[in-house]
Amino acid sequence: MAEAALYVVTSDEARNGKTLVARLLTDYLILAQRNPVLFDAGWPQQGLKDRWPERTFPIDFQKVQGQMDLFDRILNMPLRTGVIDLSWRDLATFMTLAEDIRFREEARSRGYRLVLLYVIGAMQQSRLAGERLAATKLFRESYYLRPAMIKRTGMEITSQPEIIIPQLSNGVMQRIDRPTFSIGDFLKGRKQGLNYLEAKELDGFLDAVMGAIDTIVSRQSPTP
Amino acid sequence: MKPTLILVGADKGGTGKTTLSRALIDHLARKNILARAFDTENPRGTLKRFYPAITEVIDLANVAHQMKILDTLESANVPVTLVDLKAGNLSYALDTFEKIGVLEAARSGQFNFTLVHVIGPSIASLDEIGEVAKYVSGLDYVLARNFINETNFFEWDQKTYKRYFGETVHTQEIEIPKLNEMAYEQVDLAGVPFKDFTENKAADGSPGNFSFVLRGYVRKWMADIDAEFTRLKLIQSLTNVRPSAS
């Protein structure tokens, strides 16, 4: 049976780089010609919708209609790689609902494998919260991403390694946050106004993160 | 096996009698217990819309229709007869059944009998409990509190709450859990049993096109209400489970 990965990028905290990870993953998938469909439940920002309006469905997960826009659309569309940018606000509802409606079984029967990309937050319990998510068995695979500025606490239960997201300077962050800045174009060699040092910094950042994303995506079966 | 007669009713309207009847019929079907139903919402018959094959619309004031229910309890080829009483018919039905000896026959064990009294959160609805109490001595009496529309039952006002729930003698109490409004509405529009909705079956038996999310909401609700039904002596006796001491 053909399979496709559904990547759920989430965290239990706001403003820790979750949407940047979803964005980098999307850029990778587009460059790898995986043609991902995007679900932007990244309240209050819609970082994916703003950049890829043609392939993004905005989701208000607090409303039943939004829940239908996500789950029903996934199950009714032809098998296709997907990225869900899920805000901390909607995480608990997402998990409860996915269990209540038996989304895992239904998605698997259609060929989807759910992959968790959990961005660890600054609170001590954040990694444990991610491990609890992984333990629910909703996800076939789980990965923990730790922003470099957030230190380990020693409270981790699993020995699963973490992917470190290097810290970017404020200047580069502001540049790449601009709606017109495309990581994909940067990777194709278009510097888009970055000076030499900024470009070098971003190169180093992308080498680390895109390398990790490459490892994650390569583990999935080839997808339609 | 003795036949079982279940009355589902309330004098006040809009408390969820038919919803509870539907859920109960669904529950019995999933336990492979055959049932027939009488819908006294004459002539419209809301219950009949969901269960056309097993439901008959009757007028409870009509003696011939009363005979249809009561004189065929033994001869009907199904063990359970459920009567969904229309709003305002509960006291009338109990009064009539008392006068013609039906309740006495039930008390003496000629057949199994359960009254499911569905109550809403209004004082008018709660006052019915006292009115019904005079009929239910020696009978299996179930109070069903309907939370389907997220109502509350005066838990915030302990005096009122105790007056109705704390000091009233009744056999058992169950709660009808909340069901998401959109899911409820879609099942209603589809005109199918809850079970068929979760299995994505349209009214004509063909595959439906119901939302997976809404089907999930209904499935979860059914599981919650099943947990309530399973506590009832009525269900335990029908499924040959030894009733619990409580």
More confident residue, B48 or B45: B48
Nearest to B211 among A68, A103, A106 (CB): A68
**Residue B169 above 90 pLDDT?**
no
Mean pLDDT score across all residues of chain A:
91
Q: Give contacts of B216 with chain A, Cβ < 8 Å.
A: 71, 97, 100-103
Q: Give contacts of A73 with chain B, Cβ < 8 Å.
A: none
Confirm if B206 and B212 have CB atoms less than 8 A apart.
no
Question: Among A101-110, B143-152, B210-219, whose mean pLDDT is lowest?
Answer: B143-152
Q: Give contacts of B197 with chain A, Cβ < 8 Å.
A: none
Lookup: tokens for A183: 């990581």
Contact A71 B212 (CB under 8 A): yes
Beta strands in chain A (DSSP E): 4-10, 37-41, 56-58, 82-86, 112-119, 141-147, 162-165
Region for residue A205 given its phi and psi (left: phi exceeds 0; alpha: psi -120 to 50; beta: otherwise): alpha
* Model confidence, pTM: 0.85
Q: How far apart are CA B144 and CA A171, in angstroms?
A: 63
Q: N- to C-terminal Cα distance for chain B? A: 24
Q: Is B230 exposed, middle or buried (0-12, 13-18, 19+ CB in 10 A)?
A: middle
Contact B215 A67 (CB under 8 A): no
Binning pLDDT at 50, 70 and 90, where does residue A53 land?
very high
**Residue B156 above 90 pLDDT?**
no
Q: Give contacts of A106 with chain B, Cβ < 8 Å.
A: 212
Q: Give contacts of A67 with chain B, Cβ < 8 Å.
A: 213
**Residue B202 above 70 pLDDT?**
yes
Phi, psi dihedrals of residue B56, rounded to the nearest 5°: -125, 135
**Residue B190 above 90 pLDDT?**
yes
Question: Among B66-70, B120-124, B189-193, B212-216, whose mean pLDDT is lowest?
Answer: B120-124
pLDDT of residue A195: 95
Question: Among A37-51, B99-113, B124-138, B182-196, whose mean pLDDT is lowest?
Answer: B124-138
Binning pLDDT at 50, 70 and 90, where does residue B42 land?
confident
Binning pLDDT at 50, 70 and 90, where does residue B150 land?
low
Contact A100 B214 (CB under 8 A): no
Binning pLDDT at 50, 70 and 90, where does residue A188 land?
very high
Nearest to A64 among B182, B212, B220 (CB): B182
Residue of chain A whose alpha carbon sits nearest to that of B222: A100
Confirm if A97 and A138 have CB atoms less than 8 A apart.
no
Question: Among B17-21, B48-52, B113-117, B130-134, whose mean pLDDT is lowest?
Answer: B130-134
Mean pLDDT score across all residues of chain B:
87
Q: How far apart are CA B118 and CA B128, in angstroms?
A: 10
Nearest to B212 among A64, A65, A101 (CB): A101
Contact B219 A65 (CB under 8 A): no
Binning pLDDT at 50, 70 and 90, where does residue B164 land?
low
Residue of chain B whose alpha carbon sits nearest to that of A61: B213
pLDDT of residue B246: 41
Count Cβ–Cβ pairs < 8 Å, chain A vs chain B.
37
**Residue B243 above 60 pLDDT?**
no
pLDDT of residue B245: 46
Tell me B121's DSSP state. Answer: S
Centroid of chain to Cα A112: 16
The model's pLDDT over B71-122, given as tens digits with 9 standing for 90+, comes to 999 899 899 999 999 988 899 999 999 999 999 999 999 999 999 999 877 7
Question: Among A22-31, A67-76, B29-38, B145-154, whose mean pLDDT is lowest?
Answer: B145-154
ipTM for this model: 0.83
Q: How many CA atoms lie within 13 A of B60 on its CB side?
A: 22
Binning pLDDT at 50, 70 and 90, where does residue B241 land?
low
Cβ neighbours of residue B182 under 8 Å, at least 6 residues apart?
A64, A65, B214, B217
Contact B212 A100 (CB under 8 A): no
Over range B172-176, report the average pLDDT.
Answer: 88
**Residue B204 above 90 pLDDT?**
yes
Q: How far apart are CA A124 and CA B241, in angstroms?
A: 49
Nearest to B211 among A72, A102, A106 (CB): A72
Q: Give contacts of A65 with chain B, Cβ < 8 Å.
A: 182
Pairing of strands B80-84, B112-119: unpaired
Substitution target from A72, A74, A104, A138 for chain B, most B beta carbons within 10 A: A72
Q: Give contacts of A96 with chain B, Cβ < 8 Å.
A: none
Q: How far apart are CA A3 and CA A191, in angstroms?
A: 36
pLDDT of residue B146: 82
**Residue A80 above 90 pLDDT?**
yes
**Residue A185 above 90 pLDDT?**
yes
Contact A64 B180 (CB under 8 A): yes
* pLDDT > 90 in chain B, percent: 63
Phi, psi dihedrals of residue B116, rounded to the nearest 5°: -105, 110
Contact A64 B219 (CB under 8 A): no
Q: How far apart are CA B22 and CA B240, in angstroms?
A: 22
**Residue B149 above 50 pLDDT?**
yes
